[in-house]
Amino acid sequence: MSERQANDPLELWADEAIRRCRAAGYHGVFEEMRGRHGTNRAMARIVRSAEVQSGFFRCIQLGLREWTIEAGILRFPDRFTVEAREAAQFRLDHVDDPMLRAR
């Protein structure tokens, strides 16, 4: 990670989200995707999927709502497209809808 990225608030948020998820006993695909695609692209890819990932629901169950990829996108809206922000907001608004559960 370059010096600029190391001080980037989004990168720091992502590091903390991963740390908190690990501490809660959850290890999802974001960490691997982040390594391959970079933080922004990995987060955008995750919410672009038509199916809501099981990791989103797992984080919610663990009390980590503010550390979901969706919450991160909304926390740094200027870093993401309108489509990514809308998808993230939709998922958070409809977290209790059983129709959105990953199959």
Tell me the pLDDT of the chain averaged across its residues: 88
Domain ranges of the chain: 3-92
Greater pLDDT, 78 or 99: 78
What would the pLDDT profile of 46-76 be if each residue is shown by its tens digit? Answer: 998 866 678 888 999 999 999 999 999 999 9
Full DSSP string of the chain = --HHHHT-HHHHHHHHHHHHHHHTT---SHHHHHHHH-HHHHHHHHHHSSSPPHHHHHHHHTT-GGGSHHHHHHHSGGGS-HHHHHHHHHHHHTTT-GGGS--
pTM for the model stands at: 0.86
pLDDT band at 102 (very low <50, low <70, confident <90, very high): low
